[in-house]
Amino acid sequence: MKVVTLGEIMLRLAPEGYLRFTQADKFTATYGGGEANVAISLANYGADACFITKLPDNDIGQAAINSLRKFGVDTSHIVRGGKRVGIYYLEKGASQRASKVIYDRAGSSISEAKAEEFDWDSIFANADWFHFTGITPAISDACAELTKAACEQAKKRGVSVSCDLNYRKKLWSREKAKNVMSELMQYVDVCIANEEDAKDVFGIEAEKTDITGGKLHKDGYKSVALQLAKQFGFKKVAITLRTSISASENNWAAMLYNGEYLFSKEYNIKIVDRVGGGDSFGGGLIYGLLSGMDDGAALEFAVAASCLKHSIEGDYNLVSVDEVKKLAEGDGSGRVQR
Amino acid sequence: MKVVTLGEIMLRLAPEGYLRFTQADKFTATYGGGEANVAISLANYGADACFITKLPDNDIGQAAINSLRKFGVDTSHIVRGGKRVGIYYLEKGASQRASKVIYDRAGSSISEAKAEEFDWDSIFANADWFHFTGITPAISDACAELTKAACEQAKKRGVSVSCDLNYRKKLWSREKAKNVMSELMQYVDVCIANEEDAKDVFGIEAEKTDITGGKLHKDGYKSVALQLAKQFGFKKVAITLRTSISASENNWAAMLYNGEYLFSKEYNIKIVDRVGGGDSFGGGLIYGLLSGMDDGAALEFAVAASCLKHSIEGDYNLVSVDEVKKLAEGDGSGRVQR
Amino acid sequence: MKVVTLGEIMLRLAPEGYLRFTQADKFTATYGGGEANVAISLANYGADACFITKLPDNDIGQAAINSLRKFGVDTSHIVRGGKRVGIYYLEKGASQRASKVIYDRAGSSISEAKAEEFDWDSIFANADWFHFTGITPAISDACAELTKAACEQAKKRGVSVSCDLNYRKKLWSREKAKNVMSELMQYVDVCIANEEDAKDVFGIEAEKTDITGGKLHKDGYKSVALQLAKQFGFKKVAITLRTSISASENNWAAMLYNGEYLFSKEYNIKIVDRVGGGDSFGGGLIYGLLSGMDDGAALEFAVAASCLKHSIEGDYNLVSVDEVKKLAEGDGSGRVQR
Amino acid sequence: MKVVTLGEIMLRLAPEGYLRFTQADKFTATYGGGEANVAISLANYGADACFITKLPDNDIGQAAINSLRKFGVDTSHIVRGGKRVGIYYLEKGASQRASKVIYDRAGSSISEAKAEEFDWDSIFANADWFHFTGITPAISDACAELTKAACEQAKKRGVSVSCDLNYRKKLWSREKAKNVMSELMQYVDVCIANEEDAKDVFGIEAEKTDITGGKLHKDGYKSVALQLAKQFGFKKVAITLRTSISASENNWAAMLYNGEYLFSKEYNIKIVDRVGGGDSFGGGLIYGLLSGMDDGAALEFAVAASCLKHSIEGDYNLVSVDEVKKLAEGDGSGRVQR
Amino acid sequence: MKVVTLGEIMLRLAPEGYLRFTQADKFTATYGGGEANVAISLANYGADACFITKLPDNDIGQAAINSLRKFGVDTSHIVRGGKRVGIYYLEKGASQRASKVIYDRAGSSISEAKAEEFDWDSIFANADWFHFTGITPAISDACAELTKAACEQAKKRGVSVSCDLNYRKKLWSREKAKNVMSELMQYVDVCIANEEDAKDVFGIEAEKTDITGGKLHKDGYKSVALQLAKQFGFKKVAITLRTSISASENNWAAMLYNGEYLFSKEYNIKIVDRVGGGDSFGGGLIYGLLSGMDDGAALEFAVAASCLKHSIEGDYNLVSVDEVKKLAEGDGSGRVQR
Amino acid sequence: MKVVTLGEIMLRLAPEGYLRFTQADKFTATYGGGEANVAISLANYGADACFITKLPDNDIGQAAINSLRKFGVDTSHIVRGGKRVGIYYLEKGASQRASKVIYDRAGSSISEAKAEEFDWDSIFANADWFHFTGITPAISDACAELTKAACEQAKKRGVSVSCDLNYRKKLWSREKAKNVMSELMQYVDVCIANEEDAKDVFGIEAEKTDITGGKLHKDGYKSVALQLAKQFGFKKVAITLRTSISASENNWAAMLYNGEYLFSKEYNIKIVDRVGGGDSFGGGLIYGLLSGMDDGAALEFAVAASCLKHSIEGDYNLVSVDEVKKLAEGDGSGRVQR
């Protein structure tokens, strides 16, 4: 099983514990980004995960690569050059105080990368799947072109393509997002989104949902999934369903539309680190589908995987197939494993 | 908007995380004290906050000052001299294990400070408000006199005065508290208290309240507020309503009496650090009232502010007006702010 | 009051906070083990606690001893020699992710210790109680013999004996456990177990209990206790009742059978560190019984003590008699103790 | 005494201790930059130090401001806006392994600042001195213009001007540096440089000096100073003389030319943190000159101050006038001060 | 071998690494004090070391006791009560920047202790040696009386007495020191001092010594020792000889006068933590003399022991007899011990 | 360039900074071992480095693998199974206090590994070099056989073989070492040793060398190299020359015999971490020889590389070819690289 992902990997700088930015005199330094996170998930499940990006030829770029190599991601196709590693600052919230993200990613190496810098034949040799998110084409026009090129390279080799819509309002307008993403959707087999993404990117809305109010309306989600599938011809549409009770506690579930509407179990989560939660869903779903699970099992695997992610520090979901399956099969009691 | 506060700022020494005192080989060193905490709150809201105290002319005294300057509090009227910075040791509790405070504040510089050491004209130039707590006069007879002098200085300049009763049984007896505080109340416009304070200091009791039992009785609080207002002629009485479910979880609300009885929303809080919670209520209330909110809005602002304080490490409430308003207006979902 | 305990003390290596093993570049290093933990509990209650084991004559062995001396445990009868200090690695779980223990204890000094290396007369001089767990005889055949010798030494001096069954499947099979433990039970006055232990060691089962499902069935526990008492003639049987809601939240209670069935209060616990929870129950129970409490009070003391343990980092329960009594008497509100 | 400085303040991210970038999972986060460092030095000596820059209106910008306010620097004239806080990564070297700096400062807020954003009248009210370095005009054309505008504002108010040449090859070419700096030199009264700067910026060379070889040639320095003074009409030229024995040990001295050639004592330094060493020399020199010391004493004060800086973590020199004078007067024995 | 020491044990609060007080947001918390440090040294050499003091009945007092118990010091005769644990703040210097100590010890429990609170018969049962320093009688008049009482108790039981003069100018004047100490000297068999102490306490001066200048004059030390021995009738006088090159590097040696003048080897020390260096000399000397070494060997043992102390964090000298002997016998090469 | 190394990788547990084992409540956890360290060196130089060993199928084993993958070492041929990861505890010395290593490696997975578990064809495909040390055959008889098998596999494919003698007295006797190693030497082309190794393993002595005395005698080293070369037919013999001034300062050089005697430059090193110093020499030498440097240049490269290692925390030498060459070419000034 070989999966290729393309995107930006950033340095994540987070104050220790629950300190606010203005209290911090240390930052925990990890690395992450939507597509890198998916690659890590897959490498931890034993898949061949190949992450492609561009990183500067300095020690910070190297440290980002090392963070991927450490968990077995293939980094041999990462291009070196350009100016800087993008950064995001993360302040962890608690109770009623929300987590806060400050992006400092303009001018990163990937933002100026071009398709011809990558060796597509090697990258997609034996590949089964290609994954990207709506963040990558939002970074720059060059990145939008690069993403399209990657999609074309994947498609022409018969590689399945998935996309997590992931709208980032700081990176582009809804109008631009709609234009660029609509064109990319022609390559996509499996679309992952949350309700806000569908609205922000494509203007597709569910009825009667109040995201901050903590109530989920199944009919609304069905409607969104159906509209997405119809409009772009996706084989499957997965929608993650987060109910934010507070910064410390969320409920978490998902829906998969494949002609039918499958709803997963819902988990009540005490949060350690919720960043990367959506990405770990994507990683789990790809693994589930590629490893031959039926759609319902793949959905439960993906939701259990991303539930566990919320208990793990950093962007990366560091769990094994066995751990995910144990939870998906119903043991969330947290009893000590000796 | 300029607010003056007078009191003691102490070095706070806390074991890391949930370690007990006998496990600690490091102490997190921050600074705090009721009135300093109020000054910090106000400075963070953009007010001119002037904190007055006396601190020794050594590096620990300087570090205390720096902790205030860092957040923009005016420390230029702090008197230097005397023997030591008072200390309090704080062990953070969890679940059924209570937090524990050991005071080591005898002989601190402020305990021997005299009114004539302070430049009252400069201190109160353009001031709108003066705030103190029941801790300051409890420190020593000298401090009681100093507090009275400050009240007089404030009053003769037409500055509003607020007092948080804050009874500390380790510092003085109920009898002495009653005597000293009763005299100081003549200067006070806005009184802040919790139910225990009113009883401990003035013997004013609410009926039918069991503080450790977790039930709040609205009628009892109304009764306490009314008695306080009547006895001392306060314009407003604010009472904070804490229900302690465990060291990790509290409910938090407040009441304001201004002729009418206004009750705020109640928040369920997962606690990061509850010390300074009351002070942050005071800071929020003063800001709300001075910035022209109506009493109900000021009360909600104060409760939301202090709710957020419980998610922040250290005595100081490091939140902005926007953050408080967002919560007061109903968004406590803790969704990531990107 | 003098209590002797015999067993292995291990170096415990735990990643900081909620980090997974593969994320850790530091391990918090503490020491612990079932019987050492009981000794610590008792020393903290003011009892004379004498812990016996064998530790290598190197600095790691010394550090283990120092960790006990620090809290006043008598370590003067610990034998020095052998090859190594056993280790256990602990990864702390959260929410649906379980805590994980990796044992690396083979070949530790205690595993090769012999009865004749210990000075039993001094060890049991003035002793009132001897405690061991099912872990010690499981370590090796030598340890099983050593445990038996210690029991004989205790019994012939009229010292009461307690045993916590504590089945460890990595150390021995159920068959071997049954054989060895059955013989040791002849010396035991007070047996402590949880429902799984009784089943794993002696095949004694309660009906209708689903441990991961979070439901407790009182009748089942009664049945287990009665069977244990009948089969081995125990004076008292104590059964701890843990309901694991998640790795972050447990319910905790216990039952004592002394002819009658006594059930304690149940506590809802937000977990800081659950390792050593059972041991702290044992320490509390021994203290309660030896200090003259009636069985019901001793049970409540033991449950309150072990409830508090869950809020304390490390294996050791570092609480005072006053703190335990305060909780046992009903104050679990966690209000700050100033 | 009021001193104004203008420049960029950056977030400094440094691995802990002597860890390399690829080993770090934490960065110590402090703030610094040539002119901010000078402001801090002066504030610590009791001067009114006003630092002007532009910082983004986010929490990282605020944290930079707070780092200055903490030590009493006037930050009220800092303009808020623009995109980001510049960053530099610092890896501390030891023995033969050199320290390493990676700059990531492109696109910082100050790089796009314009003179008309600043309130020059307030900034220079009562000012005695204006200081800048060769880094500021190198940041961008806008910064070069801003620097020139500030110099003009200073000069027209009769404020003395100093400049530390500080050539940064990553920011501009020698050619551009020469053009821009030559024009700025018309405003400068006191020029500070090291031998490399004079060569890199103006092509002015000393004879027979091998900087990596550890030998200083007094005649060479005299020649450089004289050439600088002649070419630009400086009243004083100060040249710092660093002999780098290893990353752990440097010799440190300076020369001042004011018509005569004054050489300071030389210190042998065991290095804690050498970044900001030159800036602390500038801060010391300005203080010495402004506080009425004769040139020789001011030089010794500046060298002693910067010697002490090498023993202090972070960019900022946190020493008092008394500490500097004690060393300048000959007590470098490091005996404990009780 | 049993040694009793009497004095104050303080909480030592030190910023991490080389941070200055105003940079610290954490303090490393250890415990120490002249006589406690001597007790620790002796316990580490296998002696029975009994430390007596008074400590408050709170967790900070308990933590101080635990720090001693951990290393095997007998703390069973420590009296509990009084108000507080004395504190000293320590900022570690480097290179030309001196270490800095801020004392905050007024009003500590020991300062109000009385002789009748101690059980002298038990304390001195089987004791061979009693040690105190000039710090204890300086704390308060009560402490001076307590020290005298302890000396009398020791002497009447034939216990040898040693005193380290240790003048602390913040605690008393030279006049008072001379009066009090002169009376106590009648009990002393072995006097330990450095050159400054002899001058500060008794006005006894060596000729031609410049302490900050780094030069030692043997004749001067001989003269001081002889004067001390003559004036008070000491059997032995030991003088430590520190040459302070910088805060990072000292030379260290000692002299013993026993009728003859014995000079030890001199060590060049790269300093990790120099506090407690003198105390570790005292501990080493007492051990050497009590264990039957001849005076020259005891002196070399003491100097080697205290040389090693400078490489160890905290007040306590944590070295074994073997480690000290290895160095005393000439192996200071620091080769890895595998 | 592909290099294969075979050996044990251990978990290294080291107290932070200069703390002694009995002071540590945290251990820095890194991984290392002679041959793994060589593999890391080579991977950092851009070579294909393949490390083979056996590690348990648990998270500690995985963490060891991840530590290698992070830096690009090929771990795909590591066999999983067996019982445990070997451990070594490291206490860092300073000044006259030596570093201390406690081994706890008995029963590690590699100790029971067999040749048939490894896929030699894949391992040695395209390999240019095979390296092992005298530690591996010392671990167990199985390891000795495994080492021999690996040597045979290498030789029959024409792969060059190097061995670092590395005698470990805790693992085997001199007699056994001589027997086993003598047989292995038939496969070795390049032998690396220090003077002690040659004596300990083969009884080959240099004249007139006093290792702890700090003096190096060139003739002695020549004699040792010549004897080694003659006895075993090595093509090259490299001898590292360490002069241990203290635990904080060493001199470091090396000699290479290839028919002629080449001596390298000598470096004076201020030590950050000296463990792995010898291994980094080996890694540097192999790189130098394989990359086509002449023997003198390869020797200087190896010595410079290992000089730099002493400034880096952990076993692994994390330096680039450029950094090593810069030092080898003479720039050890440690000037900041911007």
Paired sense of beta strands D261-263 and D267-270, if any: unpaired
Residue E77 class from Cβ within 10 Å (0-12 exposed, 13-18 middle, 19+ buried)? middle
Q: Do D70 and B72 touch (CB under 8 A)?
A: no
Locate the chain A residue with the closest alpha carbon to D100.
A59
CA distance F335 to D248: 10
Q: Does B251 touch chain C (CB under 8 A)?
A: no
**Chain A residues within an 8 Å CB radius of B331:** 212
Q: Where in B154-235 does DSSP place strands (E)?
A: 160-164, 190-194
**For chain A, first and last CA: distance in Å?**
31
Residue E266 class from Cβ within 10 Å (0-12 exposed, 13-18 middle, 19+ buried)? middle
Task: Tell which E residues from 8 to 47 touch C, by Cβ distance under 8 Å.
Answer: none
Looking at residue A214, its pLDDT comes to 47
Residue-wise pLDDT for E158-217, tens only, equals 999 999 999 999 999 999 999 999 999 999 999 999 989 999 999 998 766 555 544 557
Q: Do A29 and D13 touch (CB under 8 A)?
A: yes
Q: Does C98 touch chain F (CB under 8 A)?
A: no
Q: How far is F157 from chain A (nearest CA, A)?
A: 28
CA distance F62 to F66: 6
- Neighbours of D (≥3 Cβ pairs closer than 8 A)? A, B, E, F
Asked if the interface predicted TM-score (ipTM) of this complex is over 0.85, the answer is yes
Locate the chain F residue with the closest alpha carbon to C20.
F59
Q: Does E155 touch chain C (CB under 8 A)?
A: no
Any residues with CB less than 8 A from the CB of A202 and at least 6 apart, and which?
A178, A181, A182, A228, A231
Q: Do C333 and B170 touch (CB under 8 A)?
A: no
Residue-wise pLDDT for D278-324, tens only, equals 999 999 999 999 999 999 999 999 999 999 999 999 999 999 999 99
Any residues with CB less than 8 A from the CB of B140 and at least 6 apart, and which?
B111, B112
What Cα–Cα distance (Å) separates residue C172 from each residue in A335, C85, C262?
A: 21, 20, 32
Q: What is the mean pLDDT of the segment spanning E43-49?
A: 98
Q: Which two tokens stand for residue C111?
A: 């595993």
| Residue at token pair 């006990």 | C68
Confidence of residue F215 (pLDDT cuts 50, 70, 90): low
Q: Which two tokens stand for residue F95?
A: 């000044």
**Chain E residues within an 8 Å CB radius of F97:** 308, 311-312, 319, 323, 334
pLDDT of C206 above 80: no
CA distance E57 to D233: 71
Q: Do D334 and E93 touch (CB under 8 A)?
A: yes
Q: How far is F311 from chain D (nearest CA, A)?
A: 6
Looking at residue F338, its pLDDT comes to 87
Q: Of C270, C269, B321, B269, give the one whose Cα is nearest residue A246.
A: B269
DSSP summary character for residue A21 = G
Q: Which two tokens stand for residue D31?
A: 């703030």
Locate the chain F residue with the closest alpha carbon to C62.
F22
Paired sense of beta strands C160-164 and C129-133, if any: parallel
Question: How many inter-chain contacts (A to B, CB under 8 Å) are there?
Answer: 83
H-helix or E-strand spanning residue C49: strand C48-52
Q: Do B29 and E25 touch (CB under 8 A)?
A: yes
Which residue out of E10, E21, E25, E96 would a mutagenesis test of the D interface target, given it has the greatest number of D Cβ atoms within 10 Å? E96
Looking at residue C212, its pLDDT comes to 55
Bridge partners of residue A29, in order along the sequence: A13
Q: Does F104 touch chain C (CB under 8 A)?
A: yes
DSSP summary character for residue B98 = P
- Neighbours of A (≥3 Cβ pairs closer than 8 A)? B, C, D, F
Task: Tell which F residues from 109 to 138 touch A, by Cβ distance under 8 Å.
Answer: none
Q: Which two tokens stand for residue F52?
A: 């083979």
Q: Do A336 and C168 touch (CB under 8 A)?
A: no
Any residues with CB less than 8 A from the CB of A56 and at least 6 apart, and which?
A80, A81, A82, A83, A84, A85, A109
Q: Which H, E and C letters describe chain E, residue by residue?
A: CEEEEECCCEEEEEECCCCCHHHCCEEEEEEECHHHHHHHHHHHCCCEEEEECEECCCHHHHHHHHHHHCCCCECCCCEECCCCCCEEEEECCECCECCEEEEECCCCHHHHCCHHHCCHHHHHCCCCEEEEECHHHHHCHHHHHHHHHHHHHHHHCCCEEEEECCCCCCCCCHHHHHHHHHHHHHHCCEEEEEHHHHHHHHCCCCCCCEHHHCECCHHHHHHHHHHHHHHHCCCEEEEEEEEEEECCEEEEEEEEECCCEEECCCEEEECCCCCCHHHHHHHHHHHHHHCCCCHHHHHHHHHHHHHHHCCCCCCCCCCCHHHHHHHHCCCCCCCCEC
Question: Is residue D23 a contact partner of residue F318, using CB atoms and an 8 Å limit?
Answer: yes
Q: How many CB atoms are located within 10 Å of the residue A210 CB? A: 9
Confidence of residue D214 (pLDDT cuts 50, 70, 90): very low
Of A67, A69, A71, the CB nearest to F72: A69
Q: Which two tokens stand for residue C177?
A: 């456990």
Q: Does D261 touch chain A (CB under 8 A)?
A: no
H-helix or E-strand spanning residue D64: helix D59-69
Task: Tell which A residues from 164 to 193 touch F, by Cβ distance under 8 Å.
Answer: none
Confidence of residue C143 (pLDDT cuts 50, 70, 90): very high
CA distance B76 to B122: 10
Cα dihedral F299, F302, F307, F313, rounded to 10, equals -170
What Cα–Cα distance (Å) separates residue B332 from each residue in A275, B195, B305, E236?
A: 18, 27, 12, 74
Looking at residue E214, its pLDDT comes to 47
Looking at residue F162, its pLDDT comes to 98
pLDDT of D120 above 90: yes
Residues of chain A below pLDDT 50: 213-214
CA distance C56 to C68: 15
Q: How far is B215 from chain D (nearest CA, A)?
A: 39
**Chain A residues within an 8 Å CB radius of D60:** 21, 89, 102, 104
Looking at residue F208, its pLDDT comes to 60
CA distance C145 to C142: 5
Strand, helix or coil for residue D268 = strand
CA distance E51 to E6: 6
Q: What is the mean pLDDT of the segment spanning B264-289?
A: 98
What is the b/e burial string over C208-235, where b = at least 16 CB atoms within 10 angstroms of the residue's CB?
A: ebebeeeebeeebbbbbbebbbeebebe
Name the percent of chain B lying above pLDDT 90: 95
Of F98, F101, F103, the CB nearest to E334: F98
Q: Does E87 touch chain D (CB under 8 A)?
A: no
Q: How many residues does chain F have?
A: 338
- Neighbours of E (≥3 Cβ pairs closer than 8 A)? B, C, D, F
Locate the chain E residue with the closest alpha carbon to F215.
E333
Q: What is the mean pLDDT of the segment spanning C60-89?
A: 98
Confidence of residue C216 (pLDDT cuts 50, 70, 90): low
Name the percent of chain C lying above pLDDT 70: 97
Residue-wise pLDDT for D187-207, tens only, equals 999 999 998 999 999 999 876
Confidence of residue E144 (pLDDT cuts 50, 70, 90): very high
Question: Is residue E267 a contact partner of residue E252, using CB atoms and an 8 Å limit?
Answer: yes
Looking at residue A219, its pLDDT comes to 87
Looking at residue F271, its pLDDT comes to 98
Specify whether the backbone of B63 is left (phi greater than 0), alpha (psi in -120 to 50) or beta: alpha
Q: Do D22 and A66 touch (CB under 8 A)?
A: yes
| Residue at token pair 């894949």 | F122
- Neighbours of F (≥3 Cβ pairs closer than 8 A)? A, C, D, E
Q: Which two tokens stand for residue C176?
A: 């071997």
Residue-wise pLDDT for A171-227, tens only, equals 999 999 999 999 999 999 999 999 899 999 999 987 665 555 445 578 889 999 999
CA distance C155 to C133: 16
Which residue out of F87, F97, F166 would a mutagenesis test of the E interface target, given it has the greatest number of E Cβ atoms within 10 Å? F97
Phi, psi of A87 (to 5 degrees): -130, 145
Of A26, A60, A100, the CB nearest to D102: A60
Least confident of B215-219, C31-35, D289-293, F12-16: B215-219
Which residue out of B95, B169, B211 would a mutagenesis test of the C interface target, given it has the greatest number of C Cβ atoms within 10 Å? B95
- Model pTM score: 0.97
Phi, psi of A8 (to 5 degrees): -100, 135
Q: How far is E169 from chain D (nearest CA, A)?
A: 9
Of D22, D170, D244, the CB nearest to F333: D244
Q: Does C152 touch chain F (CB under 8 A)?
A: no
Name the percent of chain B lying above pLDDT 70: 97
Q: How far is E281 from chain B (nearest CA, A)?
A: 26
Q: How far is C260 from chain A (nearest CA, A)?
A: 30
Angle, helices D34-44 vs D59-69, to 10°: value is: 40
Q: Does E94 touch chain D (CB under 8 A)?
A: yes
Alpha-carbon radius of gyration of chain C: 19
Q: Do F106 and C83 touch (CB under 8 A)?
A: yes
Task: Tell which E residues from 311 to 330 touch F, by Cβ distance under 8 Å.
Answer: 311-314, 318-319, 323, 327
Q: How far is F126 from chain D (nearest CA, A)?
A: 29
Q: Of E107, A271, C319, C46, give the one whose Cα is nearest residue B91.
A: C319
Q: How far is A302 from chain C (nearest CA, A)?
A: 14
H-helix or E-strand spanning residue D29: strand D26-32
pLDDT of F206 above 80: no
Question: Is residue D239 a contact partner of residue D285, using CB atoms and an 8 Å limit?
Answer: no
CA distance A74 to B233: 74
Confidence of residue F214 (pLDDT cuts 50, 70, 90): very low
CA distance D337 to D319: 14
Looking at residue D171, its pLDDT comes to 95
Q: How far is A263 from chain D (nearest CA, A)?
A: 39
Q: How many CB atoms are located within 10 Å of the residue C122 CB? A: 11
pLDDT of D149 above 90: yes
DSSP summary character for residue B112 = G
**Chain B residues within an 8 Å CB radius of D71:** 66, 69
